[in-house]
Amino acid sequence: MKRTRLLFLMLALWLLRQPAQAQTADPAFYPAEIYQPAAAQDVLLLSGGGRLILSNTSRVAEGSTSTGLVRYTASGQPDVAFNGAVSGFKWMPLAVAEDAAGRLLVAAPAGIELGGQDYGALVRLLPSGAPDASFAQQQPVNGTISSLLVQPDGKILVAGTFGSFAGVPASGLVRLNADGTPDQAFLTALGAGLGGQTFAPKLARQPDGKLLVGGSFSTVAGQPRRALARLNADGSLDASFAPAVLSSALVGALAVQPDGKILVGTFNGTRLMGGSTPVVRLTSTGALDTSFNPPATLATGNTMNNGRSLVVLPDGSLLVSSNGGVSTQSRVARLSSSGAVVSGWHVSSFGDIGRFNSFAPLPNGQILAAGTPTRMASFTSMPVGVALLNADGTYDPSFAPQLRAAGNVHDVALQPDGKMVIIGNFTDVNGAAVRNLARLNPDGTVDAGFAVNSPLLGTQNAANGRNVLVQPDGKILVGGDFAFVGPAPRAGLARLLADGSLDTSFDPPFRPNTATFTGGQVQKTALLPNGDILASGIFYYPGNSNYHNLVRLSGATGQLEPTFQPLSGSYLTNLLPLPDGKILISSDYGTELVRRLLPNGAPDASFTTITSSDLYSAVYGMERYPDGRVLVYGYFPDLNGVPAAAIGRLLPNGQPDPTFVSGLSATLDLIQVAALQPNQRVVFDSDYRSLKRVLPDGGLDPSFDASTPNVYEVSRILVQPDGALLVAGSFERIANSPRIGIARLLAANVLAVTSAQAAAMLQAWPVPAHGQLHLRLDAQAQPRQLALLDALGRPVRTLARPAAALALDLQGLPAGVYLLRVDYAAGPVTRRVVIE
């Protein structure tokens, strides 16, 4: 292992000395594998007793590569052969169904590929997981596929928002023959199909063969029908079924009882026929069944969006995907055949705002439930996207699928020893169990001891870390939406010791809601010159519902500084303390985009407040130049009337700098993250999902290759002292390399050196070094100064006019990655060295 890491390091050092022209992922930085629990969109009980999970965001299932489809045996064990067979698919599966022969229909409207073979939008898999060659090859569709339904005769109904399918016109609904070819007779009978759709329809089949369709459509077969219709078995509209549906209704789930009555669940808070409940029952004619009366407090919100969100159980009761509102029922309601709450049913979850929106009853009375990750066992347990519920709703941990999606890194901070602290939404980093906070070694491997000491906990939807800051004394300040650090209550703001354990001496007055496990929302933190701490966001005080969007805390105790007058007004996007104690703040969607405050929080009248002509303008970030000028970026066409598309520069007094002219588009570009490099070029994440860079005068930098827009979202760019870029965010590929959440890029034109200067000889050995580092410089290039810098850019060794060959004493230096810099007559040359 040590030899492998050394080879990676030698390769990286060689790359640093080459005149690279494009951003390149650093091969010496361990490829990040950062994961969080994955949601599951659907769960099925298969005819052979197996269990199938559709989780299209999962990248790892039970420790192996996953592409969204995972099968388990009847005993709950992973079906290794099947899962391996489907792991090679390139797809985004949205719907799945099983036919009578045990084959699986899988829909992925954007396309399906395996081994270079294209299968279009729909593929049929054999029980082994291999594609069924006898099934007609489909084509990708322009739209979504929301429902698949296999009829007893083997024909297949496909519903979605598409306008054509299998090469023939089909508006929202198509039926295929058992071999995958279009059923033309059905399409002819359906005519114009589903018209006026805004989201994908759902399907249910009656015992008599008629088909129920629910959704957002306004016409069916050219006839007025809002959100709910019934088709005859041949595809023609059933004119006898015309319920009086509200024009605002959106149907998200359908179920048919054995007696033929129809259950309808509405989506997004709408109602089918008025009344106070989102779930109604209709007679077979479409009339409202007044004997069915769910509680008025039942709420479904946007949970009712799956064909199995509303399920009739064998005893006649029904399961409803709920947003809550039913006493003791949590987010899975169970109602009797009359609509009354079933007593004794209770589904517990701990601090999560998740939902289960697909249910599969098992023969033994248990229920599989799939949805967003939820902590079912305890507040500190790992969230699961699929839960096994007992007949009374209690959780059975014997079946807890381990599904992992790509994690998100919101922020990263460098320590002097080269280690990196990352914060965001994740529970696994390179195989180590963590909770939204971790520390990486300089090579990207995990500092396992740190992770154990610092779990950030709260609701699953609000336990993320947003920002991290390493203080000069080595303590670590973290902010976010969390409520606890381990067992200790900390509402969105906490400080850790260097080993990751909680600094109990720093105890801000904010407290979480222990009933809901929610805390504050700390968006940004900053360290003032005197050691005090600035924080922006929403802060809750015990017994006080008021909040301020900016506070100043004592750096020693975390208590509020009484002399600092909190601001009110627009949401603050960034904080920039200045060396004289004043503070720059930026805002969004307000008339004052950049303001300067005095140390006591009062407005600084000597600073020109920045505005923009666009009401929706926003400044998302700021960074100070060494000479006091300030870089600002965001979404704006101008700064105080001076054209400045998305990026600009301010003079120390706040006036726009006329020498900086943005080369971006005022209407198309938006910058949320940027970093100022040592050569005053600015690298940023554009709204086109790729990294770009501008020159010191604001023009686009043609030497920075961003031709592959494979970044989904970047939340932080940090320039290391050696010029490498640490990039954090929500991505799975960057610079044409697989990297999840964080990557280190080696980019051209970062330091103030040219290709000719970089060719000057600089040799260093041994690597890693122990106690002494031998150096050989290029005497003809006239070395003027040598400096060894730590990971924060601070000099730890310096030599004036160094000899061409020398040994550098390393005694007393902590282990880590350092930057060796030689200033030649023509410019500096740098390389990294490792000290152990």
Average pLDDT over residues 283-299: 91
- As a whole-number percent, the residues of the chain with pLDDT over 70 amount to 89
Average pLDDT over residues 66-76: 96
In degrees rounded to 5, what are phi and psi of residue 11?
-65, -40
Q: Which residues contact 455 (CB under 8 A, 6 or more apart)?
A: 380, 434, 435, 436, 437, 485, 486
Residue 8 in tokens: 């990676």
When mean pLDDT is compared across 58-62, 139-143, 325-329, the lowest value belongs to: 325-329
At 157, the pLDDT band (50, 70, 90 cuts) reads very high
Is it the case that residue 760 has pLDDT exceeding 70? no
Average pLDDT over residues 34-62: 96
Q: Write out the residue limits of the CATH 2.130.10 domain(s) in the chain.
A: 410-625+639-664
CA distance 682 to 700: 10
At 778, the pLDDT band (50, 70, 90 cuts) reads confident
How far, CA to CA in Å, does 75 sit from each of 46, 60, 102, 321, 763?
A: 13, 21, 18, 26, 61
Q: What DSSP state is assigned to residue 604?
A: -
Question: Which three-class secondary structure state does DSSP give residue 7?
Answer: helix
Q: How far is CA 714 from the centre of its chain?
A: 10
CA atoms within 13 A on the CB side of 725: 35
At 757, the pLDDT band (50, 70, 90 cuts) reads very low
Average pLDDT over residues 576-581: 96
More confident site: 680 or 178: 178
> Which amino acid type is present at position 580?
D
Is it the case that residue 756 has pLDDT exceeding 80? no
Instruction: Please give the order of strands across the beta sheet that includes 533-538.
Output: 521-527, 533-538, 550-553
When mean pLDDT is compared across 122-126, 314-318, 377-381, the lowest value belongs to: 377-381
Instruction: Please give the order of strands across the beta sheet that includes 279-282.
Output: 251-256, 262-266, 279-282
Check residue 606 and give its pLDDT: 95
Pick from 807, 650, 834, 829: nearest CA to 722: 829
Is it the case that residue 38 has pLDDT exceeding 90? yes
Residue 476 in tokens: 């670590």
CA distance 768 to 775: 13
Average pLDDT over residues 256-273: 92
Query: pLDDT for 472-500, tens place per residue?
Result: 999 999 999 888 898 888 988 999 999 99
Q: Write out the residue limits of the CATH 2.60.40.1930 domain(s) in the chain.
A: 755-835
Question: Which three-class secondary structure state does DSSP give residue 788?
Answer: strand
Q: Which residues contact 418 (CB under 8 A, 6 or more apart)?
A: 441, 442, 790, 791, 816, 817, 818
Query: pLDDT for 623-641, tens place per residue?
Result: 999 999 999 999 999 999 9
When mean pLDDT is compared across 233-242, 389-398, 438-447, 789-798, the lowest value belongs to: 789-798
E strand or H helix at 182, and its extent? none
At 256, the pLDDT band (50, 70, 90 cuts) reads very high
Average pLDDT over residues 30-35: 85
In degrees rounded to 5, what are phi and psi of residue 8?
-60, -40
Check residue 487 and give its pLDDT: 87
Average pLDDT over residues 689-703: 87
Handedness of CA 445, 448, 450, 452 (dihedral sign): positive
Is it the case that residue 514 has pLDDT exceeding 70? no
Check residue 49 and give its pLDDT: 96
Question: Which three-class secondary structure state does DSSP give residue 56?
Answer: coil
CA distance 657 to 666: 17
At 328, the pLDDT band (50, 70, 90 cuts) reads low
> Which amino acid type is present at position 88?
G
> Which amino acid type is present at position 153?
D
CA distance 484 to 120: 47
Pick from 455, 504, 507: nearest CA to 482: 455
- As a whole-number percent, the residues of the chain with pLDDT over 90 amount to 60
Fold of the domain built from segment(s) 755-835:
Immunoglobulin-like (2.60.40)
Check residue 46 and give its pLDDT: 98
Class of domain 410-625+639-664: mainly beta
Query: Parallel, antiparallel, or unpaired for β 42-45 and 168-169?
Result: unpaired
363, exposed or middle or buried, with CB in 10 Å at 0-12, 13-18, 19+?
A: exposed
Handedness of CA 376, 83, 93, 429 (dihedral sign): positive
Pick from 773, 748, 772, 766: nearest CA to 758: 748
More confident site: 416 or 275: 416
Residue 211 in tokens: 């088909």
Q: Which residue has the tokens 């096994």?
A: 388
Average pLDDT over residues 297-309: 75
Is it the case that residue 800 has pLDDT exceeding 70? yes
Q: Which residues contact 75 (CB under 8 A, 6 or more apart)?
A: none
Is it the case that residue 194 has pLDDT exceeding 80? yes
> Which amino acid type is present at position 276?
S
More confident site: 530 or 568: 530
For the chain, the average pLDDT equals 87
Is it the case that residue 464 has pLDDT exceeding 80? no
When mean pLDDT is compared across 213-217, 288-292, 446-450, 460-464, the lowest value belongs to: 460-464
